[in-house]
Structure 1
Amino acid sequence: MGYSLWLLPGEPQRSALAWVMAYRPTSYRENRQSYSSKSFPDFDPHITLANFSLPSPPSLDVLLPPKLDRVFARFKSLHVGNSYLGSLSVTIEKTSDLMTLHDAIDAHLRLNNIENRGGRFPHMSLFYLDEAVLGDRRRLPERLQRRGLVTSKREGVLLNSFPDGDPPVSLSGFDGEEIWLMDCNGPVAEWKMLDKRHLSFFDTGPAMHPPPPSYASPVVPPIGKNHSHRDYPAPFPATGSNVPERQQSALPPRQAVHRPMPMPPPLYASPVVPPIGKNHSHRDYPAPFPATGSNVPERQQSALPPRQAVHGPMPMPPPLYASPVVPPIGKDNSHRDYPAPFPATGSNVPERQQSALPPRQAVHRPMPMPQIGNNKPHRDDHAQCLSTEPRL
């Protein structure tokens, strides 16, 4: 017979069709000797694309074009033939994809001077039966339908398989995924596969066009009206008066383009700067670090948690020591033998500052000098260096 090119389905369709083709009539199972040894051989489900004779096994690169796409073969009806190889088959619908595949292979064979001697196309053989008893081939379709293996529909036929442990499978056709090069010399039981090629996927759907952009065009102000500043957020609205209404409504929430987020006001309070001449700060006092004050807005005070409060600079407290009392010119009656006048209290020191001095830090007034002419020291007498009522 020579060599053949078969179109085969992939898994699991191949297993489902093989389960249907494994059917044997009861008469054959009970008395196999009444049938010819060539009847009901095992073979894979296929559609014959080409038959040819060559002196040596060819290569698929010579027999097939470089690129072929997958096709779908639809079952149309059952056909009972008068020959051994055409005993019972399923007629395949002549779709444009399937006929294009067949014509491309036929043209490639002619290009390589190979004659295609293919017969009836397209069909898928179910059984090869060497009819020993007249009418066995005619009775096969009825037996298949009675067992539920074949169901006739207006649009075609269904081949049903009921594998053990698996749900039933009904096929109205199969996806042609592979092409096998078969050596068909000798009996059917001795046929063998020499090479195969997997067909590529082919998308028969309509071409996809990219959708229009979902974002709105930026709004450009007129010349001379652009008052933008680098410290302000850039204007890039997703919707507005310059964007058509239908475009605004077509934007889903997840694709909406929003304006940039403005920067929030600072959380810290501005430093409190006292008026000129009122700053009595001093390094000896603890630094006041207020978190709130008269210069901080009320809403800002409440929005600051304690651990995040940022305080203003500490104003310096008034000094603890009193300024030295400088007597008028000509009234300085100090003497080197007496302690230096450094009063902590007196008429020149405010009352609130006097009360702030603890007793251990009190500085006393210097001892006044006696009046001139009243100082009559004598070595035999006690020195009267002080007067109880000094005159100033």
Structure 2
Amino acid sequence: MDRNFAEPDEPAAQESPSPLREEMERPAILYVAVGRRMLSFAISPIDGELVPRDDIALPERVQYAWPHPHLPILYAACADRSAAGREKPFQICVLARGRDGGLSLAAEPAELSARPIHLCTDPAGTHLLTAFGGNPGIMVHRLLPDGTLGAEKPQAAGFRFGVKPHQVRVLPSGGTAVLVERGAKGFGTPDYRAGSLNVFRFDGDVLENAGTVSPGLELAPRGFNPRHLDFHPELSLAYVALEEQNELAVFRLRGDGFDPVPLASPTTLQNPMQQQPRQDCGTVHMHPKGGIVYTANRNDGYIGGHAGPSWIVPDPVPVFPGGENSISVFRLRSDGLPELVQTADSHGLHPRCFALTPDGESLVAGNLAPTIFEEQGQRRAVPANLAVFRVGSDGTLTFRRRHDIDTGREMIWWMGIAD
């Protein structure tokens, strides 16, 4: 187990920043999707200021994006669910990243037959996997040497994709892929359906069913609705965010699959016994150096939902009725099991996505939409925003600044960081 993070009572020494080093290093670039617009910002390592770099309009709304592991390429899954009757509402855009962080289309967008929900490359950067939600499935493209899309690789029939897939990842070994299936929330009601981790052997072109993990009630007494996962950089462990359960489940990786029994499932909430409606766990990310795992706690306050599509801000903007919008910080023991040490207020509504800079020294959370907070009888309007945190030597978060985003009728649907 790495020791890059000091224990709280043994603070790590702080090095003085070198001006020459800062001048030579390329700044991390933050990419933010607001509808069809992809914004980019440089992140100042000095004070966390976000400096606007570029603003490009893509053909359709951005659902998710993923950087190539070696090339200055960003893959964007575009999915305009309101485009009924349009010929090409679903696409993959291959975006070239300039030295200043600006984006440009590297090739013509590739048309898709269904709405993409997530995409990723394999660790070698030779293939792109795209997951579909409403029409469950996976598509595999071979990537050309310049990072653009090559041929789609035909897949065999008969896969188990489950209900509402939400993420696809390739394990660090490169030989196994996993499709994270949310199932259907509503535990204790007829609407509930358990989700699963659907595992596929992956030989570089062809996927083959390898098993399904979905713990029963004896192991997951509050249900099992996984949404997002990440992997430990050294230990054979996966950390899985359980959406409705607001828990972080830990699974051991063995060979080309997952042990069926979770090692632990601690709560991600500060006050789990006072849980409000529409409280969900979201994204999970491992710190680049290991030793710490972060999860997002999300509550949009739209009790009963609203009539518009899920990416449209309600009009009028509602008063937030209560719930946790925060980033949970888990310190990992030597065996990789997590201990909750902090829940840091996200300083806005519903941090759907967050990301860490490659050096692990900053974290940015994307608070999805505007809201109105009521505190001691006073109402305070808070726009959609990007909240910047400093990551301490022990992995805990200190709020630095808030960068407000005028989303109009859209939301901050995705955000990520690339160097």
> TM-score, normalized by length of structure 1?
0.20
- In proportion to residue count, which structure has more strand? 2
Structure with greater Cα Rg: 1
Q: Which one has a larger percent helix, Structure 1 or Structure 2? A: 1
Higher relative contact order (CA closer than 8 Å, sequence separation 6+): 1
